[in-house]
Amino acid sequence: MSVLDTLDFDNRFTNQLEADAVTANVPRQVRGALFSRVEPTPTAAPSLVAVSNEMLELLGISEEQASSAEFLDMVSGNLVLADMDSFAMRYGGHQFGNWAGQLGDGRAINLGELRTSNNERQTLQLKGAGPTPYSRTADGLAVLRSSVREFLCSEAMFHLGVPTTRALSLALTGDQVMRDMLYDGNPALEPGAVVCRVAPNFIRFGSFELPSFLGEVEVLRSLTDFTIREYYPELWPQTGEATPDTYAAFLAEVVRRTSDMIVHWQRVGFVHGVMNTDNLSILGLTIDYGPYGWLEDYDPDWTPNTTDRHGKRYRFANQAGIGHWNLMKLANALVPLVGDPEILQDAFDQYVTYFRDGHQHMFAGKLGLAEWDADRDDQLMLDLLDLLQAAETDMTLFFRGLAEVSTDDAVASDARFEPLQRAFYLPDEQLTNELRAGWDGWLDRYVARVRSDGTSDGSRREQMNAVNPLYVMRNYLAQLAIDASTKGDHTEVAALLDVMGSPYTEQPGKERFAEKRPDWARTRVGCSMLSCSS
């Protein structure tokens, strides 16, 4: 018996939905199905890089089980337990605004749905576990650098309070994988790796788009009904039969969750980088951590994705609009279930209100205001964002510094400005007398606004520091961990996992994780922009 035999897998997705009738694991166009059964490719000599202890606890996996050879084999693709039903999901999507047709899990294999002690279900998925029918011309594998980033960011985002998929483990495969990191004709062998990702499900907007596009209405209906019954049960009619109003209510809830997720991205300065419809979760979770990044200096036009460097479709400032566009594609996909698109219009239109209200509430928290007063605060915010762009200003450190600004009348302008100094990258060159005067004027308005709430500096600081993180997964920090792991030293991965577990609390001795991007990282590959290569 395996020490993992106590794990209880309950595979509702594969038990209830249409399976691919073809069993051969070869790239092909799949029809009339939502998934293809496939097993991971065995790896040569797996070894663990890191495990999330929090996820072990959530999943009910003991220390003894996690330290076993069977656990390593399971999370690296060498062991499929008897109760698992491993599969790759079929979906399509719009990529960079264009319909891409069938996409699917090209390098992700779902092991099954694990039932936890509180009777919740979490899907375990291996990313980088080998080819599937959806791999097209790719090998289905992943490399260490992208896997480190995904593992760390999944857990960091959770502790930031951002809706996200999670990560259980990161393992080296012992294999070498050929990748052209910059797509410049210089491929090289890199260490292979597998991340075990965890979420209630990995259903995407594109999961609905593909059957809708192909006219597979009953497949679309079965997926939609399954998703509502299992993940939005409060919307399922007592009659047991969905109606057009059921589908409209479903869309409205996805609209709300997607808006909420993107507001959180804006709050912490996260840029997804690849907001294609196949990378948007139907649960409103951040999914697929590819070329993501955090704003270092506040630049709303920044994108971390080299593929997007010219069009900047997925830049920071455009994420809200892209969320709306993607939801339109989801709404269009659901039209065959309701007949008249007008039935879905009200649900879709709610996005603008949800995002506006959510963004105002979020920014009130960032500024330490009791509530948002549009007449006063809209212009205060816009002027602040202009100032942040006028000189390279670290977004994360600025808002932490703003919490320290005194509202005491007796404090001179130089002393009031002092907590913000740390946030500027090139103060001697860029912080001109004119710009400094602009900051002094804005701070006077800000102080007056805070005073009008009657909030003490201590209370304001506590409120602001609860929503403005001190530690975020800066690209250069992840790259340092990748560099060390590539040489066999995984201590930096463990250190980052630990510090990102408490991103809002100052941690003595961890100051190096809360520093501005160093000059050497300004243009270094992996520290500024990244490609989709993994």
Q: Which of 225, 278, 297, 308 is catalytic?
A: 278
Are 243 and 235 in contact, with CB atoms under 8 Å apart?
no
Half-sphere exposure of 193 (CA within 13 A, CB side): 26
Q: What SS3 class is residue 374? A: helix
Residue 25's SS3 state is: coil
CB atoms within 10 A of CB 428: 6
Q: Which helix (H) or strand (E) holds 36?
A: strand 35-37
> How many Å apart are CA 330 and CA 333, to the nearest integer?
5
Catalytic site includes residue 278: yes
SS (H, E, C) 237-258: CCCCCCCHHHHHHHHHHHHHHH
Q: Which of 279, 182, 265 is nearest to 529 (CA)?
A: 182
DSSP for 444-491 reads HHHHHHHHHHT--HHHHHHHHHTTS-S----HHHHHHHHHHHHTT--H
| Three-point CA angle 104, 109, 115, nearest 5° | 120
Closest C-alpha to 337, from 232, 503, 224, 200: 224
Q: 490-505: buried (b, 16+ CB within 10 Å) or exposed (e) per residue? A: bebbebbbebbbebbe
Catalytic annotation, residues = 278
